[in-house]
Amino acid sequence: MRAALLLAVLGATLALPHGFDLPTPGTQALTCQQGKLSSVYHTDELPRRWTAGYETCEAGWGCQDTLMFIHNGPQVGIVLTKGCTPEKDQEVSITEHRSGPGLSIISYTHVCRDADFCNSLSTSAPLWTPSFSTAPPALGRMQCPTCLSTSGCEETGTELPCPAGITNCHKGVLVLRGGGINTNLEVRGCMAQEGCTLLNGTQKVGPMSTSENCNTMEFMTCHSGLMVNLLPAASREPVDWQTSGTTLCGIGELCQETLLLFESGHKPLLLGGKGCSSPGSQDSQDISIHSGPPGMFVASYDHVCSSSFCNRAENSSVLLDALPPPGGPAPDGLKCDGCVNVYGSCSDPDIVTCSVGATHCYDGYVSLIGAGLSTTMNVKGCMASNSSKLFKTPNAGIFSVSESFSDPHAQDGTAPAPSLDWMLGLVDILPTS
């Protein structure tokens, strides 16, 4: 069954990305499908299909597909990464790292150089078909809390009966890193073997390093998510800052929340990010003025804390109440375009009159990455004589920051737009029929 499905998948006609012509063999570096996915599904939602982006590799590199399934009762965790790799060619390999009864892990790996887009896996069918789940196992008397989550499991989880012969309940965190994957997956369920041995010694699957830790107290659970808010002109009235998501952080990571304010033009921009800090961070709470009068105003609030769900500020007053009032325009002062556009270039900026002391106009591109956001936005406004950049450091709390003074999208003609991490390259769609 698996072999037939696999041949069907690999023999399927490959659909090229819209507008892309297949290059003549040998004339340029290999082009591969590219993307990543890390998510948990109910078994009724499987199998799945997906579409991928593409990337051009370095000379000599190949294309790789890596797919991992973690099956835990009614849930299945899917981890997928595809893209360029320096690793040598590898025929399609399906490996059962742990087989049932109880928790099981299976993976698919493939590295190829025979053609562009040869890493063409587009369905989970090689590892999962409806027939795999139609015959429930005989149940024993053992029951275990059962959970599979990147957001952390509640201490009082759902208890489900285990297959016959199971005598152990597993509780731990599966850590996956590499190939664009940065996943901490809490796993609780039925397992036939004692100890922290879910992976049976596996340390690498495709480009991903794998490890596990059964001391779940070392992993903090935090609020996570992104808030983007365009404020009314000159308004510093607080706005709501709540997120519906949570995330399980890695060892050494704490909870963090950052608010970032840009005031220029008639629509100030407020960005809020909640999630996990960098490893080794310490408890802190700071208000930073990155750029101030007589230039445009850029400020941030950053809070790092060391208990689960402690990044729980509910509105923007934590930043706005601590800021000095904005400076007023100078009579007959310098006039500049004023705009902050998170969606890319400013096509219709406001005209603003600068404060006393402003000597020139700023027109730059600020790249922000963090809290699931990746965007390069155009910022225009007034600047003082001793300033050329808005940020003096490469970070504003949870966001990494870089500045440039030329449009990074001008050469390739692409339309700049903010993207969430899960959107980059891979989009999961409806189950197959």
Q: Which pLDDT score is estimated for 3?
A: 35
The Cα 231–Cα 344 span in angstroms is: 18
Q: Is the pTM of this model over 0.75?
A: yes
**Across 60-69, 138-147, 162-171, least confident range:** 138-147
Residue 379 to residue 229: CA distance in whole angstroms: 16
Of the ranges 191-205, 218-232, 301-315, 358-372, the best mean pLDDT one: 301-315
Predicted local distance difference test score (pLDDT) of residue 326: 72
57/136 Cα distance (integer angstroms): 44
What integer best gives the mean pLDDT of the chain?
A: 84
**Calpha distance 384→232 (Å, rounded):** 25
Place 28 in a pLDDT band, splitting at 50, 70 and 90: low
Comparison of pLDDT for 86 and 24, the residue scoring more: 86
Lowest mean pLDDT among 10-14, 123-127, 282-286: 10-14
pLDDT at 130: 52
The CA–CA distances, whole Å, from 144 to 24, 77, 189, 217, 248 equal 56, 18, 6, 19, 21
Range with lowest mean pLDDT among 7-16, 88-97, 380-389, 394-403: 7-16
Gap between the terminal Cα atoms of the chain: 17
Lookup: tokens for 155: 């201490």
pLDDT in tens, 189-229: 999 888 898 998 899 999 999 999 999 889 999 999 999 99
d(CA 310, CA 23): 52
DSSP letter at 240 equals B
Q: How many Å apart are CA 383 and CA 390, to the nearest integer?
A: 9
Q: What's the helix, strand, coil split of the chain in %, to 5?
A: 5, 50, 45
| Among 218, 215, 205, residue whose Cα is nearest residue 250 | 218
The model's pLDDT over 40-91, given as tens digits with 9 standing for 90+, comes to 999 988 888 898 889 999 999 999 999 999 999 899 999 999 999 999 999 9
Residue range 393-403: average pLDDT? 94
